[in-house]
């Protein structure tokens, strides 16, 4: 039977996550893995979760296992609203913040519409944009704000010149995936101004926002322009990804389309998991655990930075993130991180080649390293191994 | 700010579930509700769930709260495969069987493609098909199989004559929502033959399949034609809907597209919930609880049938389902169940007007009644009230 003629046109633009493909092939515990965006399992407060689950069963009984409201259970919407300084009516709970990205793309993008994104950018977002046949255009960041502004304006204007509509700018302002970089307040305001000038929306993806280890919190783009910005939050990094819970803050007209769409996507988010998250938030357990997580990750980030300093060849540079889970390495021109990957993996160390994070896959000499997942001993051994391999490679060339 | 020019074309075809809108407006416990498709909360084995959750935490530790495989955790795929008599590689776990419907439509349907469906049909499926701008065509069932065959063939051929592609037939063969009817083996084979002749797929939605109270199980369409049929299963009615878990069985080529699509939809199904479901299946607790559920629902179905018999006006007829959660009432021509609804609700009884289940909304004189949700006392009072209102209405006309 021929299935190829049965599939929709969208499927022609699906592409597989190279990260998830890596995980299918290797046992993460058998290698040194800097590849995933996994939190450390040490940060999951198992006994407190067990207790909260029992409390939820006592408190809600059968209701915790019944169908729930499409927008999310009221208790969690209220807890998220309090945390974000907004009203529950502005909150849609999602079955993961990946779903937040997907549903925004679904309600906003027709094939050929332009989505602007930082370059590099989050792979799962690129997958989603492409799957709806968006015309994804990357924007290079520059520490010179005038250059950065010109890059953004030029991307918006060239789309318009081609008769295309820019639907939104997708951006991770805090501790970006994969670069680890954070936008300044001035940069955020500049982006909002351009979005206003060209009348497109901004999707602010903020899964790492609360994982800050140094420096000062910068206002969210949503708080600067709540009518223009759709804010995506996630419980995956501040609580646990196994619950698959996130949230969207947006203008009621946008939220209403998301709500109707979500009815046909999956009716409602997981109900029991939502009550557990609400219990965790309301009781202060989430914040107490988050403080410990931040302390742990700060140590890990510092350790990785000092290991890189100590071991890497002089022609390798990297970002110094103030939070999040990742930093980004740049090797000299000519280095190909995809080709090098097989060598690294057979030696026992995994990363994600930076090229996958570029919409055009045109930058070959970068890699993303995660510092949250492995413990200190394994991080130490893994970075030393990676550095030794890189030295060998970069000297041989 | 004008949002209307920002939305995708798909949003123009979104429509709200009237069922979910009902639930936003009324407190289900303050009225007699025959409206939802809710299981009885009495069927959720709270103490066994509490114990299983604790066992999952002991057995898997942090892994239960980490990201998981996109296809679902191996333990649940294996348990579902055993239950369905297939291989784990044929199983995709979904974040609800509604997601199963949605993802199948996504990978198969382009705007304008024809989806055939029974008439009436499940509302959530109609929402999903429409949201992708499918051309949804209803097929009337007839107890005369030759008439039924002609109806299906005519629907397929008229689509072809119009130069359209039929992508799939969506069907709930067991205890259909909303009609409660079950297809005979002969009818299932007939449908598969027509699908083969016209080379379209069949999406078999089977959330109620295991809720049989009388009569003999009929082979699933998937087991009759595994290459042609995509089978959707659900934990919502055999375990608890609050977990939002379902599964898809399909040919590997179809499953592969679903897998890639699911990466960008939500990365993976809820992990902890999957382990709990696997524990419940493997330990036999799910089946033990299901037997009790079936006994309870059989009683409720029997009670509702006898109440209808006793109370309804002579010109009202209804289906006699062998399982599932629903039966379907037909009033005389001229009756309008949507108009009547306000009167019923202000008297304190809710149902869903059958018109919403018809793709063309052209049948006005039917309603769907659920018999799983309310307890016996409330069902008794609710049916008596509804019958009294109907008598008043039908005599006044």
Per-residue pLDDT of chain A (397 residues; tens, 9 = 90+): 899 999 999 999 999 887 777 766 777 778 999 998 899 999 999 999 999 999 999 999 999 999 999 999 999 999 999 999 999 999 999 999 999 999 999 999 999 999 999 999 999 999 999 999 999 999 999 999 999 999 999 999 999 999 999 999 999 999 999 999 999 999 999 999 999 999 999 999 999 999 999 999 999 999 999 999 999 999 999 999 999 999 999 999 999 999 999 999 999 999 999 999 999 999 999 999 999 999 999 999 999 999 999 999 999 999 999 999 999 999 999 999 999 999 999 999 999 999 999 999 999 999 999 999 999 999 999 999 999 999 999 986 4
Is any Cβ of chain B less than 8 angstroms from the Cβ of A42? yes
Using 50, 70 and 90 to split pLDDT, how confident is the model at B18? confident
Reading the block at residue A390, the tokens are 């890189």
A272 contact residues in B (CB cutoff 8 A) = 242-243, 273
> Three-state SS for A287?
helix
Pairing of β B317-318 and β A352-353: unpaired
Could you tell me if B309 lies within 8 Å of chain A, comparing CB atoms? Answer: no
**Hey, which residues 146-175 in chain A have their CB within 8 Å of chain B?**
167
pLDDT of residue B395: 83
**For residue B319, how many C-alpha atoms fall within 13 Å in the half-sphere facing its CB?**
23
Q: Which pLDDT does position A27 carry in this prediction?
A: 76
- pTM of structure: 0.97
What percentage of chain B exceeds 70 in pLDDT?
99
**Residue in A with minimal Cα distance to B41:** A62
Q: How far is A11 from chain B (nearest CA, A)?
A: 6
b/e for B275-309, b at 16 or more Cβ within 10 A? bbbbbbbeeebbeebbeebbebbbebbeebbebbe
Please tell me the number of Cα atoms within 13 Å of A18 on its side-chain side: 19
Distance (Å, whole) CA A53 – CA B242:
14
Find out whether B162 and B396 touch, Cβ atoms under 8 Å.
no
Correct CATH for A4-45+287-396 of 3.90.1150.10, 1.10.10.10, 3.40.50.11540, 3.60.110.10? 3.90.1150.10
Q: What is the C-alpha separation between B239 and B243, in angstroms, rounded?
A: 9
Split at pLDDT 50, 70, 90, the class of B396 is low
Cβ contact, residue pair A69, B102, below 8 Å: no
Weakest mean pLDDT among A334-348, B15-29, B36-50:
B15-29
Angle of helix A123-131 versus helix A97-108 axis, rounded to 10: 30
- Residue B102 near residue B132 (C-beta atoms within 8 A): no
Strands laid side by side in the A366-370 sheet: A317-318, A326-330, A366-370, A352-353
How large is the ipTM?
A: 0.96
In the stretch 253-292 of chain A, residues with CB closer than 8 A to chain B read: 253-254, 257, 260-261, 263-273
3-class secondary structure per residue, chain B: CCCHHHCCHHHHHCCCCHHHHHHHHCCCCCCEECCCCCCCHHHCCHHHHHHHHHHHHHHHHHHHHCCCCCCCCHHHHHHHHHHHCCCHHHEEEECCHHHHHHHHHHHHCCCCCEEEEEECCCHHHHHHHHHCCCEEEEEECCCCHHHHHHHHHHHHHHHHHCCCCEEEEEECCCCCCCCCCCCCHHHHHHHHHHHHHHCCEEEEECCCCCCECCCCCCCCHHHHCCCCEEEEEECCCCCCHHHCCEEEECCHHHHHHHHHHHHHHHCCCCHHHHHHHHHHHHCCHHHHHHHHHHHHHHHHHHHHHHHHHHHCCCCCEECCCCECCEEEEECCCCCCHHHHHHHHHHHCEECEEHHHHCCCCCCCCEEEEECCCCCHHHHHHHHHHHHHHHHHHHHHC
- B233 contacts chain A (CB < 8 A): no
Tell if the CB–CB gap between B68 and A273 is shorter than 8 Å: no
What is the Cα–Cα distance from B336 to B344, expressed in whole angstroms? 12
The verdict on a CB contact (< 8 Å) between B124 and A20 is: no
Whether B134 contacts chain A with CB within 8 A: no
- Most distant CA atoms of chain B, gap in Å: 65
The radius of gyration computed from the CA coordinates of chain B, to the nearest angstrom, equals 21
CA A330 to chain centroid, in Å, comes to: 20
Beta bridge partners of A370: A326
Residues B226-283 have pLDDT tens digits of 999 999 999 999 999 999 999 999 999 999 999 999 999 999 999 999 999 999 999 9
B66:A53 CB<8 A: no
For B305, list phi and psi in degrees, rounded to 5.
-60, -40
pLDDT value at residue B205: 98
Contact between A266 and B254 using a beta-carbon 8 Å cutoff: no
Helix (H, G, I), strand (E, B) or coil at A369: strand
HSE of B317, CA atoms in CB hemisphere, 13 A: 4
Looking at the complex, does the CB of residue B102 fall below 8 Å from at least one CB of chain A?
Answer: yes
CA triple A135-A258-A123, angle to 5 deg: 40
Residue B30: per-residue pLDDT: 84
Q: Please tell me which residue of chain A has the smallest CA distance to B61.
A: A46
| Start-to-end Cα distance in chain B | 50
Is some CB atom of chain A closer than 8 A to the CB atom of B112? no
B139-164 pLDDT, tens digit per residue, is 999 999 999 999 999 999 999 999 99
Q: How far apart are CA B71 and CA B77, in angstroms?
A: 8
Residue ranges per structural domain of chain B? 4-45+287-396, 66-283
DSSP annotation string for A90-134: GEEEESSHHHHHHHHHHHH--TT-EEEEEES--HHHHHHHHHTT-
Q: Report the gap between the CA of A103 and the closest CA in chain B (Å).
A: 8
The pLDDT value given to residue B280: 96
* pLDDT for position A396: 65
The per-residue pLDDT of chain B, averaged, comes to 96
Chain-centroid distance, C-alpha B261: 22
**pLDDT tens across B73-106, in order?**
999 999 999 999 999 999 999 999 999 999 999 9
- Please report which helix (H) or strand (E) contains residue A9, including its range: none
Mutation pick from A167, A263, A276, A374 vs chain B, by most beta carbons of B within 10 Å, is A263
Q: Is A355 on the interface with B (CB under 8 A)?
A: no
* Chain B interface includes A7 (CB < 8 A): yes
The topology (CATH level 3) of B66-283 is: 3.40.640
B20 touches chain A (CB under 8 A): yes
Does the pLDDT value for residue B342 go beyond 80?
yes
Asked whether the beta carbons of residue A62 and residue B46 sit closer than 8 angstroms, the reply is yes
Q: Which residues of A touch B1 (CB under 8 A)?
A: 227-228, 251
Cβ A10–B107 below 8 Å, yes or no? Answer: yes
- Residues of chain B with C-beta less than 8 angstroms from the C-beta of A50: 53-54, 57
Of B243, B231, B233, B324, nearest in space to B279 by CA: B243
pLDDT number for residue B190: 98
Q: Which residue of B has its CA nearest to A53?
A: B50
Structure tokens at B58: 């002991």
Q: Which of A109, A131, A272 sits opposite B261 (nearest CB)?
A: A131
């Amino acid at each position: 039977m021929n299935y190829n003629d049965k599939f929709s046109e969208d499927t022609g633009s699906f592409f597989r996550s190279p990260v998830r493909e890596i995980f299918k092939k290797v046992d993460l515990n058998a290698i040194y893995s800097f590849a995933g965006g996994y939190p450390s399992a040490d940060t999951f407060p198992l006994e407190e979760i067990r207790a909260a689950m029992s409390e939820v069963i006592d408190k809600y009984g059968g209701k915790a296992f019944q169908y729930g409201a499409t927008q999310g259970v009221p208790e969690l919407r209220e807890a998220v609203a309090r945390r974000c300084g907004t009203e529950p009516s502005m909150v849609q709970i999602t079955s993961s913040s990946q779903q937040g990205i997907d549903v925004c793309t679904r309600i906003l993008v027709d094939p050929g519409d332009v989505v602007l994104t930082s370059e590099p950018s989050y792979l799962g977002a690129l997958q989603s944009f492409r799957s709806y046949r968006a015309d994804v255009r990357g924007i290079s960041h520059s520490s010179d704000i005038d250059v950065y502004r010109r890059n953004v304006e030029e991307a918006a204007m060239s789309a318009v010149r081609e008769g295309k509509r820019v639907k939104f700018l997708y951006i991770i302002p805090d501790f970006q995936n994969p670069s680890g970089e954070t936008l300044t307040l001035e940069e955020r305001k500049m982006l909002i101004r351009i979005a206003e000038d060209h009348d497109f929306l901004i999707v602010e993806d903020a899964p790492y926002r609360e994982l800050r280890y140094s420096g000062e919190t910068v206002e969210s783009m949503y708080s600067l322009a709540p009518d223009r910005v759709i804010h995506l939050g996630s419980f995956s990094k501040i609580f646990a990804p196994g619950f698959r819970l996130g949230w969207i803050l947006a203008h009621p007209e946008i939220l209403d389309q998301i709500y109707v769409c979500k009815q046909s996507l999956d009716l409602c988010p997981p109900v029991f998991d939502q009550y557990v998250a609400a219990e965790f938030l309301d009781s202060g357990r989430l914040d107490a655990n988050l403080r410990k997580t931040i302390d742990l990750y700060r140590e890990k980030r510092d350790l990785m930075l000092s290991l890189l300093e100590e071991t890497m060849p002089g022609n390798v540079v990297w970002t110094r993130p103030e939070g999040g889970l990742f930093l980004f390495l740049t090797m000299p021109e000519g280095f190909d991180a995809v080709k090098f990957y097989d060598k690294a993996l057979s030696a026992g160390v995994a990363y994600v080649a930076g090229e996958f994070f570029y919409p055009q896959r045109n930058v070959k000499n970068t890699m993303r390293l995660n510092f949250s997942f492995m413990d200190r001993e394994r991080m130490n051994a893994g970075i030393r191994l990676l550095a030794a391999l890189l030295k060998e490679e970069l000297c041989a060339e």
